[in-house]
Amino acid sequence: MVNCCSWLLRANDICDADKNVADLGWGISVLVDSQPLGCLFAKLSTVRTQLGPGRIVIAVYGIFAISATARASYQLATKFSEAPLAYSLSALAAVVYLIATVLLAKDNWRPFAKYAIWFELLGVLFVGTLSVVNPELFNHPSVWSGFGVGYGFVPLFLPVIGIFWLRKVNA
């Protein structure tokens, strides 16, 4: 028997509140704390965000964090004088993706992820609009210019998906 709050329960776990036991299958049972339903629901809400669509959203944010950081680092180090606005915005995008990834990945910090994701969406819309209306400001593309055209418009759709996913899991 293992204390449930130190064990990650899967979404299809069965909890018998009368016996204070959650059956994990494969002959493994977990002793549930003195407040079995509270512990079980806490773990199941964690599972909802760590598996399935949640894992994909976090992974895509992580990939964008790495790619935007690499792109911005290269641009700032080698070509900053050519397009300071575009490259500074790429660096801002990298920071936003890094923050959003960490906030989404940490259970206790996830409620704050919506602020980073909303900032990202507003940034994509603002920079995308600015790059269409005033293209001479963006002789060199940034992550968010053209609404993320250089990344297949994923920067435009990712925050929308992230916001809907956070609402679904009540974070």
- Same-domain pairing of 24 and 72: no
Query: Hey, what amino acid is at 5?
Result: C
- Same-domain pairing of 34 and 82: no
Query: Hey, what amino acid is at 50?
Result: Q
- Same-domain pairing of 154 and 79: yes
Helix (H, G, I), strand (E, B) or coil at 11: coil
- Same-domain pairing of 58 and 120: yes
pTM > 0.75: yes or no: no
Joined together, the tokens standing for residue 49 give 């965000």
Give the structural domain span for 135: 52-168
- Same-domain pairing of 113 and 67: yes
- Same-domain pairing of 27 and 86: no
- Same-domain pairing of 31 and 63: no
- Same-domain pairing of 65 and 44: no
- Same-domain pairing of 89 and 35: no
The residue among 129, 121, 56, 130 whose CA lies nearest residue 93 is 121
Total domains in the fold of the chain: 2
**Structure confidence by residue, pLDDT tens digits, 93-148:** 999 999 999 999 998 899 999 999 999 999 999 999 999 999 988 888 899 999 99
pLDDT average, residue stretch 85-93: 94
